[in-house]
Amino acid sequence: MNSNEIDIHKELKKYFGFSQFKGLQEQVIKSLLNKQNTFVIMPTGGGKSLCYQLPALIQEGTAIVVSPLIALMKNQVDAIRSLSSENGVAHVLNSSLTKTEITQVKKDITSGLTKLLYVAPESLTKEEYVAFLQTVTISFVAIDEAHCISEWGHDFRPEYRNLKHIIKQLGDVPIIGLTATATPKVQEDILKNLDMTDATTFKASFNRPNLYYEVRTKTKNIESDIIRFIKQHKGKSGIIYCLSRKKVEAIAEVLQVNGISAVPYHAGLDAKTRAKHQDMFLMEDVDVVVATIAFGMGIDKPDVRFVIHHDIPKSLESYYQETGRAGRDGGEGHCLAYYSYKDVEKLEKFMSGKPVAEQEIGFALLQEVVAYAETSMSRRRFLLHYFGEEFDDVNGEGADMDDNVRNPKTKVEALDQVVKL
């Protein structure tokens, strides 16, 4: 063990109170401390933040952390501040700050107090900020949610495309990119657009062995089917995703009428109601939340026991993220998707109003969802293959946790199903 190694374990304990690194964290941190460009692909909850927070805290200078969501940045800054006696250890730099606040932030950075500076990508493009950052010591730049740079990701943000040029202006600083998006296409885009094809890549497995994957054909009886499913999981927490707000309201009502405690959640509800419904779910005042994809970002309820997709998701990436909210505690998580080709056509129609390039990507992503729904092979193997990971569907962890493996379809049955749709 070299001294470097002993130190980071000690620092981990000192700052975060953890006695062990999780997964690939240690290797990632060493790579970054060696000033190498580093690329981290880990599923949500894998512990990506610590991969840049710890090196930032123990190095000289300020680390710049680019993150797309102001709310998430604020949470992280509060968390970091609680680890230290100095408020100035972490700051957010954005347009909502007053002149006095900006002066304070700059002072803390210049004096070496600030270890982490969180910025939204659009703030970083500001001339005056760049000019200031050129005058101080930057330890490294972290790009969180790095998939935002790719049109093939689920959350493309054009501002991310400028990052490369801005980082170049800051001198020769290492970059760490982090994402939970595992598709090879997105990864390639990230490395290219951040100009870090030389980066050392660390990729964790995306297998979630405790999740059971199931697809059911969507019929007229879907509502009673869902009700039956929920009653079989009485008292358990679950999420039902629907495509439209209208459907969210309708399903929530049907469930309520049938004696299931459920609340709706979508962007059409006012902020107060949304917060209330989210809290009710987290506090277990209700069992089920019926939601559009507006629900779930940053939700960390460990014992969600099922995630139902009333309508198919727009990509396998989204499906993985949404189903990933089940079984965080390692316990059972049932992921049930309803599928009909009519829904695919509906989604295609939805997209037809969009620019051609976007449509093409949207169609291609949707075709993968169709293939997943129609496959007769191990769904886990299919999903992981999509993420560039080979899964052994005989001996792999969680191999029997899917409908196709438990109840293999005969070829004739499989064909039958296709024809019926």
Rounded Cα gap, residues 265 and 291, in angstroms: 5
Closest CA to 139 of 162, 103, 114, 159: 114
Find the shortest distance in angstroms from Cβ 43 to ligand ADP. Answer: 7
Q: Which residues lie closer than 8 Å to 368 by C-beta, 6 or more apart?
A: 315, 316, 386
- 45, interface contact from ligand ADP, Mg ion, none, CB < 5-8 Å by kind: ligand ADP
Q: Which residue has the tokens 């990933």?
A: 324
Rounded Cα gap, residues 369 and 9, in angstroms: 42
- 22, interface contact from Mg ion, ligand ADP, none, CB < 5-8 Å by kind: ligand ADP
Rounded Cα gap, residues 370 and 363, in angstroms: 10
- 150, interface contact from ligand ADP, Mg ion, none, CB < 5-8 Å by kind: none
Could you say whether residue 48 binds ligand ADP (CB under 6 A)? Answer: yes
Q: Which of 37, 38, 49, 292 binds ligand ADP (CB under 6 A)?
A: 49
Q: Which stretch binds ligand ADP (CB under 6 A): 14-22, 129-137, 206-214, 274-282?
A: 14-22
Closest CA to 172 of 35, 29, 28, 31: 35
Rounded Cα gap, residues 241 and 238, in angstroms: 10
The token pair at 173 is 């600083």
Find the shortest distance in angstroms from Cβ 48 to Mg ion. Answer: 5
Q: Which of 4, 10, 34, 45 binds ligand ADP (CB under 6 A)?
A: 45
Could you say whether residue 46 binds ligand ADP (CB under 6 A)? Answer: yes
Q: Which stretch binds ligand ADP (CB under 6 A): 48-56, 262-270, 284-292, 405-413?
A: 48-56
Could you say whether residue 90 binds ligand ADP (CB under 6 A)? Answer: no
Burial of 132 by CB count in 10 Å (0-12 exposed, 13-18 middle, 19+ buried)? middle
Could you say whether residue 181 binds ligand ADP (CB under 6 A)? Answer: no
DSSP letters spanning 128-197: HHHHHHTTS-EEEEEETTGGGG-TTSSS--GGGGGHHHHHHHT-S--EEEEES---HHHHHHHHHHTT-T
Q: Give the H/E segment covering residue 217.
A: strand 211-217
Could you say whether residue 147 binds Mg ion (CB under 5 A)? Answer: no
Q: Which stretch binds ligand ADP (CB under 6 A): 21-29, 119-127, 283-291, 305-313?
A: 21-29
Find the shortest distance in angstroms from Cβ 287 to ligand ADP. Answer: 24
Letters for 38-77 (x = contact with Mg ion by CB under 5 A, - = none) are ----------x-----------------------------
Q: What is the DSSP letter of 399?
A: T
Q: Which stretch binds ligand ADP (CB under 6 A): 16-24, 270-278, 352-360, 412-420?
A: 16-24
Question: Which residues lie near ligand ADP (CB under 6 A)?
Answer: 18, 20-22, 25, 42, 44-50
